[in-house]
Amino acid sequence: MPDRGGGPTGPRIRVGRPSRRARILLTTLGVLAVLGMAFTMFAGFWTDWLWYRSVKYSSVFTTTLSTKVGLFFVFGLLMAAAVGFNVWLAHRLRPPLSAMSMEQQNLDRYRMGIAPYKKWLLCAVTVLVGLVAGASAAGQWRTWLMWVNAVPFHKTDPQFHLDISFYAFDLPWYRFLLGFGFAAAVLSLIAAALTHYLYGGLRVTSPGPRATAAATGHLSVLLGVFVALKAVAYWLDRYGLAVKSSDFKATGDWTGLRYVDANAYLPAKTILFCIAVICALLFFATLWRRTWQLPVIGFGLMVLSAILIGGLYPALVQKFEVQPNEQAKEAPYVEKNIEATREAYGIDDTKVSGYDGTSRTKDKSTLRGEVGKTASVRILDPNIVSPTFQQNQQIRGYYAFPANLDVDRYPTKDGKVQDTVVGLRELNLDGVKKNWINTHFRYTHGYGLVAAKGTEASNGEPVFTEKNVPTTGDLGTYEPRVYYGEKTTTYSIVGGPQKEIDYPAGDGEATTTYQGKSGVSLSSTLNRAAYALAFGEPQILYSGAIGDGSRILYNRTPKERVEAVAPWLTIDGDAYPAVVDGHIQWIVDAYTTTNGYPYASRTTLGDTTADSLTYNNDQRAVVAQQNRVNYIRNSVKATVDAYTGEVKLYQWDAEDPVLKTWMKAFPGTVKPKSDISSDLMAHLRYPQDLFKVQRELLTRYHVQDAQTFLSGSEVWQVPEDPTTKSGNAVPPYYLTMKMPDQDAQAFSLTTTFTPNGRETLSAFMAVDSQAGTPDYGKIRILKLPASTTVGGPKQVQSQFNSNSQQNIAEFVKLIRGGDSEIEYGNLLTIPLDGGLLYVEPVYVRGQLKYPLMRKVLVTFGHATAFEDTLDKALDKVFGASGAQTTPPDGGTGTTNPPTSGDPTVEQALKDAQKAFDEGQKALKVPDFAAYDKAQKDLQAALARAEKAQAEADKAASAGAENGSGSDKSASGDAKSGSQDGKSGSGDGKSGAEGAASGAGDGKSGG
């Protein structure tokens, strides 16, 4: 029998090498894994390059990438060389082996173990530290570009008299270099010490000297380098005092030198610098003396000096010299801080004027005519009416409007310019049956801009000046398709064999094929494979829906695109659309910022720009490259074409040195201001986030006297939004109005202030917001007397809610007693004749979940009115008659119901109109029992109309799924009977239908 490998105890199991086939398989799998990882990395790089090339900002990609790669390799190699050299040198300086102590015998095992791998181990250590250091350095690409392209401010700080560019551009880079030097010195010291210990240069338990002369010299030099770097740090810390943040009891957060900094810390840093230099020289001297006695003494002296001179001495100065007479000592430094802060935030030209807060005219009736001259009161709240736009102008479930609409300016037919509430009908994929083709090929874009007069309402609904699909209205002909928008967050593949849904047409859908040049071509297999991997969607690689001409669109929100092409800008939270030169353009305000403006107090952008609108609304949040800043300028106005996705950056502030620096770093990316067309200029406005930052600073820095500033007696606060329960700041409001020192109305951004800890009004602030005007950006503040009892927003709102004479409380109680809800619109504040006029629209939201404006609250002085229209409320407040604008229907105050071919529908609508009118009359008495009965009749009539219309529509056309606003209507009054069955014509609702839209259950009448 042949030997099977068994033995006395049984057979032996032999483990042989894998077969050749197995080795080939394992090798192949390993190669494929490496190639897969490599292609994954390549796909990210390649798709980024293709995208930047498609938007014609490839220079941004190449400049950013080359800077990151350069910093990675330079500093990675420097760190690897520093650590590797010191390990090599320590090994070379190892002592010859002699009689082995027990300590060395134990270490000998480790030496022998790593002996065959010394070179590999050295390479691994140096590569690891090099990779970490290189990655850290690559993250400093902004710091490097700002330093190497620095442009002077031509303004110096008051302490060291250095140009501000030193603090903004140079000092951050020097601090990075210093930090890198410290890291290299420490890592080299640790690596060298371990190597010396492993090879006997350092001993811990062995008898005799603890270190060889070579090890002593080597480590002393490294310690000397560390201490020398500490000396440099002390010297830079002197300049760092000008931009240092500290907590100052009198003012809270503080930036810059105070008395103790200038008279204690500054000389202490100079003394410590000298001591550190001497200590470093003592360490270097060990190369000749071969003893650590003097260096250790010098290092101990430096540490003791740091404690006594750098810590104890300033504390004593603060305690015994500053605190007994703080205001006198700190006043000169507070003046520097006030001046620098006002300059850094662009509030140094703010005009503060005294304002009585009470009307000067005894006969209030004479002021009725002044209201229209003082302000074009906007009663349509863009932050409330989005659901109403949705109900009337959504047209299809695959369209949607943003939660917050925007205020813009458009000319009327008579040539005047009016405040207009606008929103885009954007793509809403939540209303689409979900599959890959529908989501990414068929439903690709929104359609049209919808606009309504800001100063008018008809039966509580917006008066649309641009509406319907296809678009009709006052804006003329423009490209209505919206491929890029705030709600467009997924990718689309367009231009190929698959047709796209364009807009509803009759009983079906019109189709289109994207004709723009935006996006990245998917004609090559490489591109398709890269995007399939980048988006995790393998169908991109093999789908037959992709063919010649197919292009992929992504990064489609306006803020996202601007941030990508200008990664050095901070992006305003509110991008807004405008029809400009035949295209819908998103207008995006962008800021240059720095954290290094000497003496200017810092602010946190995320906190300062938060208000009740940004609460749980990420689309309104600022996109900050540097969240903590102490200098900001609205230096760039950007546009994003809603059809082509083209991004343009315009230089808005030609004097900003930060923008000039970035323009040197990225030449050709920012166009001159002269390239802005007149049509675009008409829609540019003062940005909200900058205004919010400035108003927050002005709560303290409206005071320019140091003594008053330190006393804190004039500190203001931004009031909470009284119309919400979020507890967040009231948002600023755009409003066309006239300040007391102005001759004519101007498009303005406004806000109010209250005293710190109180709810009375302390000031009103407005900034001229219309670009292209001489006063654009001019900030005006009306400061009320400290003893004023003029109510602030919260008090005014409380007075509204509790007013019994105007039956406001009863109205609110009645509405909320049903299934409807009250929503308060923007509380507008308007200076008038030395007093303040408050106007607030009141909306009712019923079962249909969209609000209608039912009342207007107005107060002036001690007079309050709660009426159906603004004119009536103003007449009542000022005791005047007449001066009422003609209702949009021609004067009757009501509109006739739309006709229907079905007699049952017509009769039901007439009954509904009658019930609505009776409800209005009951409210004026007020007779709430009669009102309640009228609302029940209204509800029943509308239910009959709805049922009858649905049956008629079903019989007429089984394919009609949402006929509201279709192109079958020649006049734009679309056929009623949408999917909801609740929406009337696009703009011609009857009063009864308007009531139904507001309350659903009939509770919203009046």
Cβ-contact 720, 781 below 8 angstroms:
no
pLDDT class of 932 with cuts at 50, 70, 90:
low
Q: What is the pTM of this model?
A: 0.83
What confidence score (pLDDT) does residue 62 get?
Answer: 96
Given this model, what pLDDT does residue 965 score?
38
Give yes or no for residue 508 having a pLDDT over 80.
yes
pLDDT at 952: 58
Task: Tell me how far apart the alpha carbons of residues 142 and 39 are, in angstroms, rounded to a whole number.
Answer: 28
Mean pLDDT of the chain: 85
Collect contacts of 838-843 with beta carbons under 8 A, ≥24 apart. Answer: 838/796, 839/377, 839/379, 839/870, 839/873, 840/723, 840/797, 840/800, 841/379, 841/380, 841/381, 841/384, 841/457, 842/866, 843/381, 843/384, 843/385, 843/460, 843/998
* β partners of residue 856: 841, 867
Q: What is the pLDDT of residues 568-585, one digit of tens each?
A: 999 999 999 999 999 999
DSSP for 891-941 reads SSS--PPPP-S-HHHHHHHHHHHHHHHHHHHHHHTT-HHHHHHHHHHHHHH
3-state SS, residue 7? strand
- The answer to whether 600 touches 587, Cβ cutoff 8 Å, is no
pLDDT of the residue at 953: 53
Element (H, E) at 69: helix 58-92
Question: What confidence tens digit (pLDDT) does each residue in 422-433 have?
Answer: 999 999 999 898
Confidence of residue 970 (pLDDT cuts 50, 70, 90): very low
Per DSSP, the residues of 664-722 read HHSTTSSB-GGGS-HHHHTT-B--HHHHHHHHHHHHHHT---HHHHHHTTT-EEPPB-T
Query: Contact 387/850 with Cβ under 8 angstroms?
Result: yes
Given pLDDT bands bounded at 50, 70 and 90, which one contains residue 950?
low
User: How confident is residue 99, by pLDDT bands cut at 50, 70 and 90?
Assistant: very low
pLDDT tens digits, one per residue of 81-93: 999 999 999 988 8
pLDDT of residue 807: 75
For tokens 């600023």, name the residue: 732
Asked whether the beta carbons of 833 and 855 are under 8 A apart, the reply is: no
**Mean of pLDDT values over 589-606:** 95
pLDDT on residue 951: 67
Tell whether the model's pLDDT for residue 209 goes beyond 80. Answer: no
Q: What pLDDT digit, counting tens, does each position of 755-800 carry? A: 988 889 999 999 999 999 999 999 999 999 988 788 889 888 888 8
**pLDDT of 60 above 50:** yes
Per-residue pLDDT at 860 exceeds 60: yes
**DSSP structure class, residue 139:** T
* Of residues 377 and 968, more confidently modeled: 377
C-alpha–C-alpha distance, residues 913 and 403, integer Å: 31
pLDDT tens-digit series, residues 527-573: 999 999 999 999 999 999 999 899 999 999 999 999 999 999 999 99
Which tens digits make up the pLDDT trace of 824-839?
Answer: 999 999 999 999 999 9
The tokens of 860 are what? 């002036």
Query: Which of 25-39, 216-230, 493-507, 853-867 shows the lowest per-residue confidence on average (mean pLDDT)?
Result: 25-39
pLDDT tens per residue across span 167-190? 999 999 999 999 999 999 999 999
* CB contact set of 589 (below 8 Å; sequence gap of 6+): 571, 572, 574, 634, 636, 637, 638, 687, 689, 690
pLDDT at 923: 58
**Quick one: pLDDT at residue 96?**
75
Is the predicted pLDDT of residue 943 greater than 90, yes or no? Answer: no
Flag whether pLDDT at 625 surpasses 50.
yes
**What pLDDT, on a 0 to 100 scale, did the predictor assign at position 208?**
55
pLDDT at 308 over 80: yes
Rounded average pLDDT over 297-302: 87
Each residue's pLDDT tens digit, 329-377:
999 999 999 999 999 999 999 999 999 989 888 888 889 989 999 999 9
pLDDT of residue 914: 76
Q: What is the pLDDT of residue 967?
A: 40
pLDDT higher than 80, residue 746: yes
